[in-house]
Amino acid sequence: MDRQHDGPVRAARGWPLGGLPDPADAGAGATAGQLAWTSGERAIRESLINILLTRPGERLQRPDFGAGVRDWIHRPNDATSRGLLAAVIERALRRDEPRIALEAVEVVAPPDDPTQIGITIRYRILASGQRDGLALTLAPERP
């Protein structure tokens, strides 16, 4: 993910869901102020992040869409809660992202900070057979 912050457009591209044009990009959709759509592996990765962060009921016309992982940050960080969260993530990804074969979902409490929740997802892209993964750490906001 591009995390450079050298102007408003570049900073916006650092947003995990992408979609905003970069004037320096010569690719399709990056001219005449059009939105630049991602494709391939990057589009799948952005879709996974979107599914994880979207709360069920938040998306119009798709009330079941999403896993709502942010809602779990203030729940007890014990084995039962982590197991339930893994099941919620697995169900949402299998239902909402047909371009992948889900291989594993792991939810852990990092030993160095038990207030955080570590999520690791392993999957295979059906079109190419390529294996990939996504790691996400949820942490409570610090004052």
What residues have CB less than 8 Å from 128, skipping those under 6 apart? none
Encode the chain (143 residues) as per-residue pLDDT tens digits: 333 333 322 223 334 444 444 555 545 555 556 667 788 899 999 999 999 999 999 999 999 999 999 999 889 999 999 999 999 999 999 999 999 999 999 999 988 898 899 999 999 999 999 999 999 999 887 76
List the one residue out of 15, 111, 93, 50 whose CA is nearest residue 85. Answer: 93
**What is the set of domains in the chain, with CATH numbers?**
1-37 (no CATH), 43-138 (3.10.450.40)
Count of alpha carbons within 13 Å of 106, Cβ hemisphere only?
A: 12
**C-alpha span between 87 and 133 (Å, rounded):** 17
pTM here is 0.75
Give the pair of three-digit tokens for residue 22: 């970069």
